[in-house]
Structure 1
Amino acid sequence: MSVAQFSVEDASFRPKRARVGIRPALSFLDEDKAGTIQPHDDALVVTLRIDGYDVRRVMIDQVSCVEIMYPYLYKGLHLKLENLTAYDSPLVSFDGKVVIPRGQIRLSVQAGSQVVDVDFIVMDSYFPYTAIMARPWLHTLGAVSSTLHQKVKYLSGDQIKELVGDQSVAR
């Protein structure tokens, strides 16, 4: 039997198609800017549930490589020095000064229905926000953030969920 004798309708000739699950794409459109004051250069500041408490003034920073907790939140969560583990590496603050952290603590951070365990470095310095969520948290959550759109988007199952920033708090 030669190849010419097969037709496209012949089931043995049809290539098998792989089943491909379609996943929504995490992207930002102009419509995502609705409700924001434009133009702006505001930080992306959200509310997250940290260790069972709703925590306001959490800055999302794609540039930072560690999650930071400041004294206001540390005290508000009723954490004690004995709750901290040692963290010996000095960090450079936003103003360029070297800061020695008080220690490190692992806490759960909830965004919608997604919960991620986060290692926070506890700083004993002033910052206008209560915490900084950085690349490790974004990557673990599988999230994409946009300061322009004032949102964080992430997949939860087959749905795109979003955290909306609070520009009034950022200002």
Structure 2
Amino acid sequence: MQIKDEGALTFPGKLKGDPNKRPRDKYCRFHRGHGHNTANCYDLKQQIEALIGQGKLQRFVSRERIETQEEQASRRENEHPRPPIGDIRMIVGGTATAEFSKKTRKTYLRMVHSVQLTGSVPKMPRIDYPVIRFSEDDAQRLHHPHDDVLVVSLQMRDYNMHRVLVDNSSSADILYYPAFQQMRIDREWLTPMNALLVGFGGTKVFPLGAITLAVTAGDYPQQITKEVTFLVVDCSSSYNAILGRPTLNSWKAVTSTYHLMIKFPTEYGVRELWGNQIAARECYIAMLEMEDQQ
């Protein structure tokens, strides 16, 4: 207590109560008695704050601020990050993992570890594709700032499918059952799948089956058409479908959430597929309403 000699503090009387019932290992120099530490003394803190507010003790305030910064810097150097409590996962599983045997999975895992640890990459044939770039001009049409998801429209079979969520973290392409029904496809066309999907928070979903559909992105001639195998799931969602890594990788597509755009190579140059920012926000609000109703 370097400020005790300043004459500004008003020292209180002794602590009330039976002194024999108070902890003997804690001593307050402000109250001159046992029961709590000086650093934790509420009455002392109140007086100091009042004196600072009156413009007093400035020389102590500035020095304490410097000392605090030094202590914080030292503490940051010595601190270690806390380990994570758990995992929050996106959609995983699907046809890509269902077709793997245990032996194949182990081989695949060893290949990944080899790349991560040694930096070695298997040799692949070189194919010349146009360079895909994003610029600030690509984001001019959007409302900023934003943290919207990438929602696009695609042609699936003979339908224009809107509200398709582009999810780079999903290892499966998903088609929600209400959208499947609107496409007037007989449920008997579904191929049974022994594939388990693990969604947000570890929720497990068993698909009704799989269906392969022709999906077209872009407009002629800058377009791409691929056969995509969707897992059909019967659960609540404001989206009609989810486009995951299997299709994005087959398209050699590059996504940007900042620009809300997909770009992919075609025989006639790079094609842009713009996300619908209004649809993304409508879907977000619809998802919130669904959660409120549960």
TM-score interval w.r.t. the shorter chain?
0.7 to 0.9
Q: Which residue of 2 aligns with 1:31?
A: 137
Query: 1:117 corresponds to which residue?
Result: 227
TM-score, structure 2 normalization = 0.50
What is the deviation of 1:66?
Answer: 0.6
Partner of 2:176: 70
- Kept in 2, the 8 Å contact 1:85–1:105? The answer is yes
CA distance in structure 1 between the partners assigned to 2:234 and 2:275 by the alignment: 25
Aligned residue among 279, 289, 292 for 1:169: 279
Task: Tell me how far apart the structure 1 counterparts of residues 160 and 190 of structure 2 sit (CA, whole Å).
Answer: 21
Is the contact made by 1:36 and 1:167 (CA closer than 8 Å) also made in structure 2? yes
Specify whether residues 34 and 84 from structure 1 end up closer, same or farther in structure 2 by C-alpha distance, changes over 3 A only.
Answer: same
**Bigger radius of gyration, 1 or 2?**
2
Q: Aligned equivalents of 2:246 and 2:152: distance in 1?
A: 17
How large is the Cα RMSD of the aligned pairs? 1.5
1:144 & 1:129 partners in 2: Cα distance? 21
Note the C-alpha offset of 1:108: 0.6
Q: Are 1:128 and 2:220 an aligned pair?
A: no
Match of 2:153 in 1: 47
Q: Unpaired runs of 5+ in structure 1?
A: 1-20
- Post-superposition CA distance 1:42-70 (Å, at most 9, x none): 11000000012101000111110110000
Deviation at 1:96, TM superposition (A): 3.1
Between structures 1 and 2, the one with greater helix share? 2
Distance 1:24 1:92 in 2: 36
Q: Equivalents in 2 of 1:95, 1:129: separation in Å?
A: 19
| TM-score, normalised relative to structure 1 | 0.84
Determine if contact 1:24/1:158 at 8 Å carries over to the other structure: no
| Amino acid in structure 1 at the alignment position of 2:152 | V
Higher relative contact order (CA 8 A, sep 6+): 1
Give the superposition deviation at 1:94: 2.8
Off by >3 Å, runs of 4+ in structure 1: none
Rounded Cα–Cα distance in structure 1 between residues aligned with 2:206 and 2:249: 26
Aligned length: 151
Higher strand share: 1
Secondary structure of residue in 2 paired with 1:41: coil
